[in-house]
Amino acid sequence: MKISKEKFGQSFDALTAEYQVVAPVSEAGAVNFKTAKSFSEVKQDYLNSKLPPKSLLFPQHEKLLSYVKEGKDITVKNELKVGKTVLFGIRPCDAKAMLLLDKVFKNDQYRDPYYFDRRDNTVIIGLACNKIAPTCFCSSMGISPACSEGSDLLLIDLGDSYNVEVITEKGKELLASLGELSELSAQEQALVDTVKSAQTTSKVDVSTITAKLDKMFDNSYWDTLHEKCLGCNACSFSCPTCHCFDISEEVIKSEGSRVRTWDACMAPLFTLHGSGHNPRDKKKSRWRQRMMHKFNYFVHNNGDIACVGCGRCIKGCPVNMDIRQAIDGVNKAEVVVD
């Protein structure tokens, strides 16, 4: 089934009265996810946003609570503000990344309300990729340019209209407000089939990487992998699945706030102890941690590789370090089997 872009645009504009609508918007030569007031602002033919839309659910800088001390009394205020949100135009790799973040912020022991209260109030409209960047390798991660995992509705651009696929009940409810759907023509169905069958040309082999890394903690491969890394954290901050954070107290006299800010395991201060000891004081150990976490530890803990093949870390690295080459290096590394 399809909806014309004209009708969808009218519905999009109407949604802004009831929802915060976040969509890909072009600014300063890059595409990022911002609140959009009109469908005319939305950038649809982008390859990928500079930063992942995870910041909608997991902000880069977030005040968790504030407090005021008056004598012996302390008043605490929860700063979480949640409204109904529509996230439009998210690519399949980023939608899948949301499912991976879900596993971090909720398990059988805890639920992060700051993340999940937003998550529960957000409807995700995915937009399949009609064009694929040379740095994309999502097909190697069990995803495809038209993967529906993580989306509530998935759209495929047909030119003057969108093919609409309902994934969840959330999506079904929102669809009722988008306008009447019509049947696809044979030519449009052929385009849908083409987009759905597309694969990235760039591929890596991750079929045995978790088992290989089980035996590679002390491998000599790590001695050289890190050598040209600047430690700038561009890879971590542009990654849709990275979720490290720091919590700090900001206090002025009798008033203060508790703030959560993105952090990165690639940063030298990330593991610095209060004693002054740093167990990962060298880039070698930090690069090993990045690879082990994404392709080994996360798999053992959550059942999935913590990479969706979006290629942002490749594009953003100022010294052209390439995660695909790092994976290939692991595959080729010699491992001593007991």
Looking up tokens 């990235």 gives 200
Residue 176 lies in a domain: yes
Whether 128 is in a domain gets the answer: yes
Verify that 171 and 222 share a domain, yes or no: no
Residues 168 and 243 in one domain: no
Q: What is the Cα–Cα distance from 192 to 235, expressed in whole angstroms?
A: 33
The residue out of 169, 197, 225 marking a domain boundary is: 197
pLDDT at residue 337 in the model: 63
Number of domains within the chain: 2
Residues of the chain with pLDDT under 70: 337-338
Q: Are 184 and 2 in contact (CB under 8 A)?
A: yes
Domain check: are 112 and 163 in the same one?
yes
Alpha carbon 243 to its chain centroid, in Å, reads 9
Asked whether residue 149 is domain-assigned, the answer is: yes
d(CA 252, CA 208): 52
**One domain, residues 33 and 134:** yes
For residues 24 and 138, membership in a common domain is answered with: yes
Inside any domain, residue 337: no
Same domain, 181 and 121: yes
Per the domain annotation, does 203 fall within a domain?
no
Let me know if residue 193 belongs to a domain: yes
Considering the domain architecture, whether residues 190 and 248 belong to the same structural domain is answered as no
Radius of gyration over alpha carbons of the chain, in Å? Answer: 22
Distances (CA, A) of 316 to 77, 182, 238, 319, 323: 38, 41, 8, 9, 11
Same domain (yes/no): 24, 128: yes
204 inside domain: no
Claim to verify: residue 42 and residue 163 sit in the same structural domain: yes
> Among the three residues 172, 197, 222, which one is the final residue of a domain in this structure?
197
Q: Establish if 299 belongs to a structural domain.
A: yes
* Mode of pairing for the β-strands spanning 161-166 and 2-4: antiparallel
Examine the fold and report which residue of 150, 168, 197 is the final residue of a domain before the chain moves on: 197
Q: Assess whether 33 and 149 both reside in one domain.
A: yes
3-state helix/strand/coil string of the chain: CEEEHHHHHHHHHHHCCCCEEEEEEEECCEEEEEECCCHHHECCCCCCCCCCHHHHCCCCEEEEEEEEEECCEEEEEECCCCCCEEEEEECHHHHHHHHHHHHHHECCCCECHHHHHHHHCEEEEEECCCCCCCCCCHHHHCCCCCCCCCCCEEEEECCCEEEEEECCHHHHHHHCCCCCCECCCHHHHHHHHHHHHCCCCCCCCCCCHHHHHCCCCCCCCHHHHCCCCCCCCHHHHCCCCCCCEEEEEEEECCEEEEEEEECCCCCCCCCCCCCCCCCCCCHHHHHHHHHHHHHHHHHHHHCCCCCCCCCHHHHHCCCCCCHHHHHHHHHHCCCCCC
- pLDDT tens per residue across span 84-99: 999 999 999 999 999 9
For residue 279, which amino acid is it? P
Whether residue 287 is found in the same domain as residue 322: yes
For 247-254, the CB contacts below 8 A with 24+ separation are 247/64, 254/68, 254/69, 254/70
Indicate if 50 and 164 belong to the same structural domain: yes
Whether 130 and 158 have beta carbons less than 8 Å apart is answered as no
Which residue range(s) make up the domain with 108? 2-197
